[in-house]
Amino acid sequence: RWTVADYVEMATELRPVWWAAMDCCCEPEIASNNDEVQKRIRATVFYLAETLASVYAWNHHLPGYQATNPMPVIQGWKPEDYKRCIQLIEDH
């Protein structure tokens, strides 16, 4: 229900000590097979990129508090999933 821009606005206005980028969970109850896990990892990396772009836009085009960068979320279910997620983040 939230857009990334809504989330950045909330995180900026609430001024938390830290905040994380939006993510897509990969628990078996939600992502029941490897294809779904990989899709959700890619979506998590996309959300991070979109969040960083929204933070940039917020800081350069909107008045008020400066937005801080979110903590990236490393998503997956198995160790190799987490490694893939980190690699995708680094490549992006």
Whole-angstrom distance, CA of residue 48 vs CA of residue 7: 12
Give the residue from 70, 9, 16, 10 showing the smallest Cα distance to 44: 70
Mean pLDDT of 38-46: 97
Range of weakest confidence among 10-24, 37-51, 52-66, 76-90 = 52-66
Mean pLDDT of 38-56: 96
Span 14-40, pLDDT tens digits: 999 999 999 999 999 999 999 999 999
The predicted model scores a pTM of: 0.88
Whole-angstrom distance, CA of residue 8 vs CA of residue 86: 22
